[in-house]
Amino acid sequence: MDNDSIKVLVTGSNGQLGSEIKAIASTYPMLSITFTDIEDLDITDEKAVNQAIQSLRPRYVINCAAFTAVDKAEVEVDLATKLNSVAPSLLAKSCKDNGCKMIHVSTDYVFDGESKTPYDEHSQVNPVSQYGISKLNGEKEAFLSGVCMVIRTSWLYSSFGGNFVKTIIRNGKIKPELRVVSDQVGCPTYARDLADLILKIVSKGHKGFIPEIFHYSNEGVCSWYDFACEIIKLSNLDCNVMPIGTIDYPLPAKRPQYSVFNKEKIIKSYHIAIPQWKESLGNCIKILKKEGFI
C-alpha cells in the first residue's frame, strides 16, 4: 500500500451504495479502502466498532449501513433505532476519539413532504415514518460529534441490490400493465453518482471535508409514475404503466408526497455538475442490459 494513500473504512458495503463504491473504487487509486458489512463489522456492536477504527485508523469512515426497509421499520422499531440512530452515534464517537472523519448518509424521509418548494439543508425536518424518525435521530447524533458530514439523498437505486428500478423491470417483463403512484414526486438518485461524489470528497483529503449537512440527488423532478414510464421505455419492455393515487396503494409507512431537494449547497461547495435523472437511469439500465437482467 502506498504510504501517501488515504485510508477509508466503508460499512454496509454489500448494500446498493456500498457496492457502487466498490465498483468504482479502482478509479480512485489514491484511496486505500477497507470494505466491511455486518459479518465483518456490525456497526451496532460498540466494541467491534472501536476495535475496527482503532486498529485501521482510517482517515474517513463512510457509513453505508442502515435499516432501509421503510415499511418493516414501522413494526421493527427497535432494530431500526439501533441501526439508524444508535449505531451512527457510536461510529461518530469512535471517529472523534480516533481523529478520523465520517460521512454519513441520510434521507429525504426526514421531511414530511408538505412543502411546495425544494427542501434545503435549513428546511424544517418532520419525519412521518419510523424509518424517517430513526434516520433523523441518527444524523443528529452523528452530526453533534463535529466530525461528521451528513449527505441526505432520495429514491436511491443501483444495478446492485433490490430497488424500484429492478422491481419495475422484473414486473414489466411478466405483466401487461403496472399501476404506479403518480401523486408523490421527488428526485431519483443513481447510487453510482452518489458513490462517485463521496469518493471525490474523500480523495481531496481533509481539504474536501465539510462537517455539515448536504442534499444530493440527481437533477430533475418526477413522480414514481414518471420514473416507472422511463424505466419501461429505456428497457424496451412492452408494458403499459397506469397512474394511480397514493390512496389506491396503501402501505404501512407514510411517504412524503413531495421530496425534492435543493442541491445548490453541494453544487457550489464541491463545484460539481449533477447528472439529470434520465441520463443516470440510462447508465444503470445499460449495465442491467449487459448483465442480462433485462
Ligand X SMILES: NC(=O)c1ccc[n+]([C@@H]2O[C@H](COP(=O)([O-])OP(=O)(O)OC[C@H]3O[C@@H](n4cnc5c(N)ncnc54)[C@H](OP(=O)(O)O)[C@@H]3O)[C@@H](O)[C@H]2O)c1
Q: Which stretch binds ligand X (CB under 6 A): 23-31, 39-47, 237-245, 257-265?
A: 39-47
Q: Which residue type, as a one-letter code, is found at position 157?
A: Y
267-283 CB burial, b ≥16 within 10 A, e <16 = beeeebebbebbebbee
If the CB atoms of residues 15 and 58 are measured against ligand X, the closer one turns out to be 15
Which segments within 93-134 are labelled E, that is strand? 101-107
Q: Using CA atoms of 106, 108, 110, 116 in order, give the dihedral in degrees to the nearest 10.
A: 160
Taking CB under 6 A as the rule, does residue 135 contact ligand X? yes
Cell digits of residue 198: 463521496
CA 113 to the chain's CA centroid: 18
Taking CB under 6 A as the rule, does residue 230 contact ligand X? no
Taking CB under 6 A as the rule, does residue 255 contact ligand X? no
If the CB atoms of residues 5 and 23 are measured against ligand X, the closer one turns out to be 23
Contact residue for ligand X among 155, 214, 227, 277 (CB under 6 A): 155
Contact residue for ligand X among 6, 8, 15, 241 (CB under 6 A): 15
Choosing from 131, 157, 216, 225, which is the catalytic residue? 131
Taking CB under 6 A as the rule, does residue 61 contact ligand X? no
If the CB atoms of residues 2 and 112 are measured against ligand X, the closer one turns out to be 112
**Residue 117: how many CB atoms within 10 A of its CB?**
9
Check if the beta carbon of residue 4 is closer than 8 Å to that of residue 30. Answer: yes
Taking CB under 6 A as the rule, does residue 182 contact ligand X? no
Contact residue for ligand X among 21, 31, 37, 90 (CB under 6 A): 37
Nearest one of 76, 88, 75, 77 to 44, comparing CA atoms: 88
Report the relative pairing of strands 185-186 and 258-259 from DSSP bridges.
Answer: parallel
Cell digits of residue 120: 434545503
Cβ of residue 285: shortest distance to ligand X, in angstroms? 17
Site for ligand X, residues 64 to 83, rule: CB under 6 A: 64-66, 68, 83
Contact residue for ligand X among 31, 43, 53, 202 (CB under 6 A): 43
Cβ of residue 10: shortest distance to ligand X, in angstroms? 10
Check if 216 is active-site. Answer: no
Q: Which residue type, as a one-letter code, is found at position 193?
A: D
Distances (CA, A) of 35 to 12, 20, 224: 8, 12, 32
If the CB atoms of residues 5 and 56 are measured against ligand X, the closer one turns out to be 56
Contact residue for ligand X among 5, 34, 44, 98 (CB under 6 A): 44
Binding site for ligand X (CB under 6 A): 11-12, 14-17, 37-38, 42-44, 64-66, 68, 83, 105, 107, 135, 153-156, 161
